[in-house]
């Protein structure tokens, strides 16, 4: 089994970080750069930075700010939000991103995933998929959870894999911010549908939730925000809890 990654998620809205519940009721939690510096010191495996309002603007991603964040980020950084063209991917990589997350643009132009994978390699492409449970099945939503796509999640993640996505970031909108646990059935369904790493996101409230996402649902990594923003639980503590159950994690870590 590959070593399981613990990945804090930073949700970026205009001038700072926010966190909400079910992609709504956003609460400000502080500026981006200090958070990046703190996570550097806590030896996290990776960081995910998502601009949650970029889809509302015709402007390109804020490359200047991302370059500033990237300069102070010493762990692998995935950046997403408002990425619609291949030249933007190149600029994000030059600004300090190691991977690029694509969500809304993939529904409008699925071949965009192929373009990124063909030019920069599958390891560069994180397919971000936001999901709601409706009418007895999981459905994909774009535009930060605002627009229904009509896509079934299992069919969509298979297509994303076939087009060259290197991993899937699967987020339950229903569970997001509740701190009541990941949607294990959703994660398991996605894990069984693809042969690439699956990052569980949405709902982590304690370390046991992370253990369940890995052991019961098969996730390759666990992403979380609220647990690190609003409790005293830490990425290092999460690694320690995972390791205590026999799950391999990346060393070193300090509780």
Is the pLDDT assigned to residue 28 strictly greater than 80?
no
Per-residue pLDDT at 38: 87
What's the CA gap between 75 and 42, in Å, rounded? Answer: 10
Instruction: Please report which confidence band the pLDDT of residue 254 belongs to, taking 50, 70 and 90 as the band edges.
Output: very low
Per-residue pLDDT at 255: 43
* Domains and their CATH numbers in the chain: 5-244 (3.20.20.70)
Q: What is the separation of C-alpha 89 from the centre of its chain, rounded to a whole number of angstroms?
A: 17
Tokens 């603007």 sit on residue = 57
Instruction: Please report which confidence band the pLDDT of residue 252 belongs to, taking 50, 70 and 90 as the band edges.
Output: low
Share of the chain above pLDDT 90, in %: 71
Instruction: Please report which confidence band the pLDDT of residue 52 belongs to, taking 50, 70 and 90 as the band edges.
Output: confident
As a whole number of Å, the end-to-end CA separation of the chain is 23
Secondary element (H or E) of residue 231: none
CB neighbour list of residue 87: distance below 8 Å, 6 or more residues apart: none
Is the pLDDT assigned to residue 175 strictly greater than 80?
yes
CA distances from 95 to 56, 60, 75, 118 (A): 22, 13, 14, 20
Per-residue pLDDT at 230: 87
Mean pLDDT for all residues in the chain: 91
Instruction: Please report which confidence band the pLDDT of residue 96 belongs to, taking 50, 70 and 90 as the band edges.
Output: very high
pTM of the predicted model, to two decimals? 0.93
What is the mean predicted confidence (pLDDT) over 155-181? Answer: 97
Is the pLDDT assigned to residue 253 strictly greater than 60?
no
């Amino acid at each position: 089994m590959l070593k399981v990654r613990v990945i804090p998620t930073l949700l970026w809205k205009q001038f700072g970080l926010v966190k909400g519940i079910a992609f709504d009721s956003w609460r400000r939690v502080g500026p981006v750069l200090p958070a990046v510096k703190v996570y550097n010191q806590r030896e996290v495996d990776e960081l995910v930075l998502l601009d949650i309002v970029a889809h509302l603007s015709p402007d390109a991603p804020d490359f200047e700010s991302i370059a500033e964040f990237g300069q102070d980020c010493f762990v692998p950084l995935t950046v997403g939000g408002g990425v619609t063209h291949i030249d933007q991917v190149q600029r994000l990589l030059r600004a300090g991103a190691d991977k690029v997350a694509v969500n809304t643009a993939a529904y409008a132009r699925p071949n965009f995933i192929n373009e990124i994978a063909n030019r920069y390699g599958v390891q560069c492409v994180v397919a971000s998929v936001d999901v709601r449970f409706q009418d007895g099945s999981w459905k994909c939503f774009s535009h930060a959870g605002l627009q229904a796509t009509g896509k079934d999640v299992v069919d969509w993640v298979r297509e994303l894999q076939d087009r060259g996505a290197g991993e899937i970031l699967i987020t339950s909108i229903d569970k997001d911010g509740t701190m009541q646990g990941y949607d294990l059935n959703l994660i398991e369904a996605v894990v069984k549908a693809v042969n690439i790493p699956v990052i569980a996101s949405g709902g982590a409230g304690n370390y046991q939730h992370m253990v369940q996402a890995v052991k019961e649902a098969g996730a390759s990594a666990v992403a979380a925000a609220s647990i690190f923003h609003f409790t005293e639980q830490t990425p290092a503590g999460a690694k320690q809890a995972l390791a205590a159950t026999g799950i391999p994690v990346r060393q070193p870590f300090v509780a």
